[in-house]
Amino acid sequence: MKMKMKTILLLVILASICFNCNFFKDVISDSPSVESEESPNLEATPTEEITLAPTPVITATPEGFPDDYASGIYFLGYKLINDHFYAGLWFDDFFYSFGDSDTKANQFIYHDGKVISIGYKESTPGNTKACYWINDEIHYLSPDIDEASMATDICYNNGDLYISGYIGNIPSTACYWLNGNITYLEEPSLEGSSKAMSIYYDTGERVIMIIGYSRDTLETRSRCYWYGTYTRNSLIVSGGGNLYPGYKYGGTFYFPSGFGYNTIDFSSFGGMAYHPVRESQEITTMAVTSVYKFAIGTQLIEGRESAAAWIDGILIYKPNNLFSRPIGSALCGGTIYIAGIARAQESDPPKANYWTISTNFIPLDGRTFANKAIDNDDYSYAVDVLMVP
C-alpha cells in the first residue's frame, strides 16, 4: 500500500513538472524578442559630427588624403589643431591635412593628376624650412642649409618646377629652386637683404621672371625684378605696402603692390606701369580675364579691415561688417573664387573663408558660410584656390 502511494505521488510530481515546462515555454515564445527591436542606426551618424577633439594627425574622412582628385574647387590653407598648425586642403566641406605638424602652406598648382603645394615647416621656434608637397608627401628644399628658408611662389613649365623664396631671416638672400636645386639671385651679405616673392615663366621658353625686394642696406627696401641672366632691375612702384604673388595673363604680369598693382609686359619692358586703386587700403591678390582686371584687397572702414574688390579701378564689392581679408584668388570655370579669412570681431580667431565675384557672387558670412569648411574654434587660414577639371 505504501509503495502504491509513493508511485501515485511520483506521477503527480512528474505531471506538474511537465505542465510548468510547457507553461514557461509558452511564456518565452509569446514575449517580444530583443532581436526584433529596432537598433539605432549608428552608421547614419556623420563622422564629422562626432569628431569633438581632433588628434594631431588629422583624417577628415575615413579614407584619409585623397589619392585621386575629383573635379571641383580646392582651397589651400592651414589650421591650428591642438596647438599646432597643419597645412592641407579643403574640398567638399572637409579639411585634408598633409599630415605634418607645425607647417603652413602658401601657394599650390595642379598638374598631371597631382597637387603640388609650397610652404614651410617650423623645425624649431623661429627657424622655418622651405618645403613642398606632392599631394601629401613632404619634400624639403635645400635641407642641408642650416639657415631659415622660405618658399613663396610656384610655377611649372616644360617639365620643370620653379619655386621662389629666400634663405635667412635678417638678412635674407633671394633665391629660387629649379627642380629642387637652388640658385641665389644675390650674393649673401650681412649689409643688405633680398627676397624673391613671385615667379613667372615665359611660355615655351626656359626663361623666368622673379619679383621681389632688394635692400641696399637693412634700413632701405626697394622693389625689383630679376630676368634673363637674373640681374637685378628696378621696379616702378608707388604706394608702399607689400608685394604678393601675382597673376600671369598672356604676356603680361599683374601683381599686387601696396595701394594698387604693377603690370609688366614680358615682350616689352617699356610696358611697365603702376596702377593705383582708389580707396584701397591694400591690394593682396589679382585675377585677370580677357575683359576685366580684378584687383582684390581691403578697405579700411572705421578702423576695420574689410574685403573689397575693384574692376578696372571701380569698386564692385563693398566691405561689410566683418573683419575680413582676401589672400588668394583664381578664375575657376568662369567664376572668380577668393580665399581668405574673416571674423565677426577683431578679437575672434580668424576663420578660413571663400567667396566669389560673379554675376551672383556670394558675400562673406562670418557666422555660417565662413565656417563651411571649419569644424572647431581654432585659427584657420585659406590662402589659395584652384579648380581641378
Question: Which one-letter amino acid corresponds to residue 17?
Answer: I
pLDDT tens, position by position, 120-172: 999 877 789 999 999 999 999 999 998 999 999 999 888 889 999 999 987 89
pLDDT value at position 147? 92
Q: Which strands make up the sheet holding 137-140, listed edge to edge?
A: 103-111, 114-124, 127-134, 137-140
- Helix runs in the chain, H state only: 2-30
The residue with cell 574685403 is 307
Q: Which of 183, 257, 261 is nearest to 221 (CA)?
A: 257
pLDDT value at position 329? 93
- CA–CA distance, 160 with 207 (Å, rounded to integer): 11
**Coil, helix or strand for 271?**
helix
Band of residue 301 on the pLDDT scale cut at 50, 70, 90: confident
Q: Which residues pair with 324 in a beta bridge?
A: 342
Cell of 14: 512528474
pLDDT value at position 370? 35
Is residue 162 within 8 A of residue 155, CB to CB? The reply is yes
Q: Which residues pair with 72 in a beta bridge?
A: 388
pLDDT tens, position by position, 165-206: 999 987 899 999 999 999 998 887 766 788 899 898 765 555
Instruction: Let me know the angle formed at the C-alpha of 143 by 142 and 144, rounded to the nearest 5 degrees.
Output: 90
Question: Other C-beta atoms within 10 Å of 203: how many?
Answer: 12
Q: What's 76's DSSP letter? A: E
The residue with cell 584619409 is 64
pLDDT averaged over the chain?
A: 74
pLDDT value at position 109? 95
Is residue 372 within 8 A of residue 65, CB to CB? The reply is no
